[in-house]
Structure formats: structure tokens, C-alpha cells
Structure 1
């Protein structure tokens, strides 16, 4: 009887875990190294950055795709003329795009690039986040630097090795939340994993989240609820639920290359650019 009870408990827990796993809603293929996705409520459209050819290569074949929220393609090359576009952020009718060493401003209504802000000596601008005051933050991952566009002026805002390969960015109140990528292993060197840190927008002080340092190669970062975030691990190919108390729960296994995702709280939908698979995949959270 005891053995039977143990088997029943195991089955119950396994069934509950399976029920809690995110469910695939749809998948759109045929993209070209998609890296980031945002939803524009004004046009009810998804915008997806596509690096195109090689990462960090100025080859002019990067573009922004426009899709419906159900994954239906509207315009594959909605805006062209980019090099290696990655992170995206919307503010005031403009789409801001990280493009290697430039922050590119796109007028959404006009479907065109209206401004390019040069980041001198930047190596790889990655994610972008917009503050409520209209400030635009973008990180240069290899150089542990965060740039800021404010009142038409673009320049380095914070440079600190404690950023440890800053990747995902989210502005929350008076803080900029940063998901760290760390470093992938190189010949003769071990990998350096990252965690989550909070950067004060007032004094630029950096505060690590308890017990979630050196835990992954984090890429996308989206708030789930107060003190809880959905974070993608690009190297492992996974989606995690992480809270500020130090709990990190792996809730979805994907292929390597899970990048800068989007979370829609109204429908509990997470949309993940699968960079290496050249696809965009949507899941519903239980």
C-alpha cells in the first residue's frame, strides 16, 4: 500500500507539473535571426527585429518585420536599411532600435527611419528600454555600458564592470532592472554567468537581487508580477520565472537562442524570438 501511495503521489505531482507548463499557441517561421519583439497597442501589431546575416556585421541586411498578434505576417521587411538590429522599445509613436553602434529611431506611422544616434566606440548595443519621462536606455553588452537618449542628446550614462554583460532592460519606477548575460566560454576560459541587478535612475547605484547572481546567460527580461520576472536564457534555451527573493524556476525548455521576449499579461501570453531557429513562438502560461 505504501508503494502504491508513493506512485500515486508521483503521478499527481507529475501531472500538476505538466499542467503548469506553458502551451504552444503558434509559431511563425521564415524570419532571419529574430532578436526582439514588441507590441504596438496603437496599431495592434508586433514588431520584430531581424539581424539578417551575421551578428555585429554592418551589411545592411537587417530589418524590422510586422506581424499580427496571432503571428500572421503583415510585412516581412516592414522597415529595411538596418545592419544588425536587436533590442526594441516603443515610446511616443517612435520605435527605438539598437543597431550595433547606433540607436535608430523609426517613425511608426510613416514606416521610416527618421534619426540615427551614433554611439561612439560602442561594440554591440543590445536591448532598449523606455522610461516614463521619454528617456531611452540602451546597453552595450561587451563594454558594460548603458547609454541614454534624453532631450535629443545621446551618450554614455553608466559604465561599470558590475553590470557583467548587461542584456535585458526594464524601467520600473526609479530603477532600471538589468538582466546580465555574463560571458560565454572562450578557448582556455570558463563561462561567466549573470544575474539580475537594479540600477537607481537617481544615483546610478547598482544593487544585486538576492541569490540570483551567476545563475544564467540571461537575455530577455519582462515583469510578470510585482517582484517577479520572466527571463530567457539564450545559451541554455529556456524560459525562467525569477523573483527578487532568489527563487529561479525553469518553466519552459526551448532550443538555444531564446532571445528578447514579450509578455502580454491580459492573455498570459509570452512571445519568444527563437534566434537560431529563425522563428517567433508564442506560449500561454498557466
Structure 2
């Protein structure tokens, strides 16, 4: 049988880019949180960061909650005394928290802050992404910088406008994938949405994923069991599904502004999504 060129191209694209997900199924929601910004699954617990007030306020009232994977509040203020805790990442027995201008290390077993790593010049440390080898990457959305903690040294790793306001991050085999928030609307300006950016570990040179078509004002970023990406839009609210070629669609459109840094559990195919302004955490099964 002779195959047309167009058929071969279409088949190749289908193999490279997984199919779109089916309609998501809502599993549960839990309230009682205060500006929940980020969530991190860890076995039988979900860690949730609570900003509690202004995202840049050094007021010491932020805290970390513990929620069960089935939506029960386990400990509302498990660790307190933080400022405006946002992104979360874990290496071994240490939970790392992005907190304005420092990276906070929490001893999970003790439930206490063990160390603080200052980020001189940072203004809005946002997401945390931990690699399997122990490296910890932290985005500073306010200065277009990504920091790295390695060997006890916390320093800038990549910086520049090509990062488009780096927010959510995802460690892949040979690169760091970054969700840009772009320039958010302000004072009547509609703002400039952004897209996903790839930063190879070898070159540290940022480049757009696919054609770089604007997706939204991106916040959290995860990859599903099927190999597609999910990203939240903090300004407009949707949950986007994004393929490796940069094409995208809205997967869930019922959220309002404040849809923050989600997490994904591949085993149960569950996305956990903090709704900051609604002060709750929701869970959806995404097939």
C-alpha cells in the first residue's frame, strides 16, 4: 500500500504529540486555606503553601498545611512563621519553600525550619523544582532569574528577558522547562501572555517550546502520565493542556483568577490545583 506524504506527516505528529486528555473528573475540594499558592504530593500527604496576605509582605504569618490525597485537612498550620511561602520542592527529608527573597529548608521529620538561603537581589521567588540529583531550581519572576541550589551554594543560574517572567518549572532529562507568566495586566494595560520556555542544562540558553505562540499568564506547570503538559493561568483562571510542539487548548475553564501552582500524581492521574482567591484546593482526575 502506498502512503501519501500527508498521511506520513500526520502519523508522525500523532506519535510525537500525545492525544488530548478526556474530560477531567472532579474528585474533591478542601477549604479552610489562606491564599494557597503551591501544592506538592509526597506519599500519603500533600504539602500546601499558604501566603496569607500580600505576596511580597514580610509579615511572618505564612504557613504550610498538610492535606491527605483524598482531601482531608491533616494539619492546617504544620509549619508557621514564614512570610509569603510559594513554590515547594523536596529532596530527601528536606522540603524547600520559595519565600520572597530566600529559599527556606524545612526538616520534614521535625516539622521545623532547618536553614534559610538568602537570594540577594531577588524580589519574588516563586516556584521550586527539584532534580533527582539534588539540585534545586527556584524562579524569581520579578527579576527574570532562575536560581540554583547545589552543594550548599544558592546563586543565580540563568537570567534574562527570554525567560518571560519565569514562574512554574519542571525538571526533565536534559532541560528545565519554564512557564512564563509574561507581563500581567496593570493600570488598563491588557498585559502580554507568555508560553513555555526550554532551558537546556548543557547550554543554559532559553528558547520557546514549539513556535512560542502565547498561551496565557502561566503559573504552575506539570507533565501528565501521557506526556502532555498542564499549566495554570493565574490571571485568567483556565487550566491549559499543552503539547510538546507548543499547541494548546483549554482543559478546564471554570476557575477564576488566582489559579496557582498545581501538582500532578502520575499513579492516580490526579491534578491538585490551588485556587488562591477561593482559598481552597481542588483535585481532578485527568485521563
Length-normalised TM-score, structure 1: 0.90
The reply to whether residue 84 of structure 1 matches residue 81 of structure 2 is: no
Shift of 1:263: 1.0
Q: List aligned pairs for 1:91-240, cutoff 5 A.
A: 91-187=91-187, 189-225=189-225, 228-240=228-240
Q: Which residue in the other structure is 1:52 paired with?
A: 52
Distance 1:284 1:226 in 2: 13
Distance 1:63 1:36 in 2: 11
Evaluate the alpha carbon distance shift between residue 226 and residue 212 of structure 1 in structure 2; reply closer, same or farther with a 3 A threshold: farther
Q: Which residue in the other structure is 2:257 paired with?
A: 256
Shift of 1:246: 2.5
Q: Does the 8 A contact of 2:239 with 2:250 survive in 1?
A: yes
Q: Which residue in the other structure is 2:281 paired with?
A: 280
Q: Does the 8 A contact of 2:101 with 2:119 survive in 1?
A: yes
Q: Which runs of 5+ in 2 are unaligned?
A: 1-20
Shift of 1:152: 0.3
SS in structure 1 at match of 2:86: strand
Q: Which residue in the other structure is 1:38 paired with?
A: 40
SS in structure 2 at match of 1:185: coil
Distance 1:255 1:50 in 2: 18
Evaluate the alpha carbon distance shift between residue 226 and residue 70 of structure 1 in structure 2; reply closer, same or farther with a 3 A threshold: closer
Shift of 1:62: 0.2
Q: Which residue in the other structure is 1:12 paired with?
A: none
Distance 2:209 2:196 in 1: 6
Shift of 1:190: 3.7
Q: Which residue in the other structure is 1:74 paired with?
A: 74
Select between 19-28 and 270-279 the one with higher mean Cα deviation.
19-28
Larger fraction in strand: 1
SS in structure 1 at match of 2:162: helix
Q: Does the 8 A contact of 2:224 with 2:269 survive in 1?
A: no
SS in structure 2 at match of 1:109: coil
The reply to whether residue 266 of structure 1 matches residue 271 of structure 2 is: no
Distance 1:225 1:25 in 2: 18
Q: Does the 8 A contact of 1:196 with 1:213 survive in 2?
A: no
Shift of 1:188: 5.6
SS in structure 1 at match of 2:143: coil
Distance 1:39 1:225 in 2: 15
SS in structure 2 at match of 1:142: helix
Q: Does the 8 A contact of 1:212 with 1:248 survive in 2?
A: no
Q: Which residue in the other structure is 1:25 paired with?
A: 27
Distance 1:103 1:221 in 2: 20
Shift of 1:189: 3.6
Distance 1:182 1:129 in 2: 19
Q: Does the 8 A contact of 2:127 with 2:168 survive in 1?
A: yes
Q: Deviations over 1:35-87 (max 9, x none)?
A: 0000112xx11100000122110010000001111110111000001000000
How many residues end up aligned between the 2 structures? 266
Q: Which residue in the other structure is 2:3 paired with?
A: none
SS in structure 2 at match of 1:235: coil
Q: Which residue in the other structure is 1:65 paired with?
A: 65
SS in structure 2 at match of 1:280: strand
Distance 1:263 1:211 in 2: 26
Distance 2:85 2:132 in 1: 23
Distance 1:24 1:118 in 2: 39
